Chain A
């Protein structure tokens, strides 16, 4: 069963605007959440993470928001740049085993 879901397979945004990527999870034991970014023919690279004790974490242009009651997190990219065009994976883990469960990914295309 898929415990982490990214319901939007793709997103197109204009350069300079905000990109918002969404992720939902079903396992209430998940307490650590990550976003990975993947370019074609490369492996995923870690982007940003958030612990369940927080509801927001910011790193430069990237901010992750966590809504535990809704079992929902989102990644905001502001402003979007052409180099942000990639596939973004949401992942989650529980502190009892730390195994990562990944969503199916969202392909972001930033238009000039």
Chain B
């Protein structure tokens, strides 16, 4: 069974600073994908970044990067130059079995990030 663990219920960061949100995962599958979603107070889930298990390079999308350490089974999200609009709930998720019927996402409990001026 797959499991995602986010150990930080809340994080605080000052505007313009970088912040790392932790995510560890557990799976016996060789092929899987890791996702980060952002959920602002309005409620919608916004896709941020994706990392495939066979990708050799860490994924980057603008100010978001994913620090993927396969041996440690961690997929931490790094947000550089935090902005006030980054204040939100952040969810790490995993999808196992890239070419099978198992397309469901398994989520962690989330980390609430608060960016202060």
Do A and B associate with each other?
no
* Chain B residues within CB distance 8 Å of chain A: none
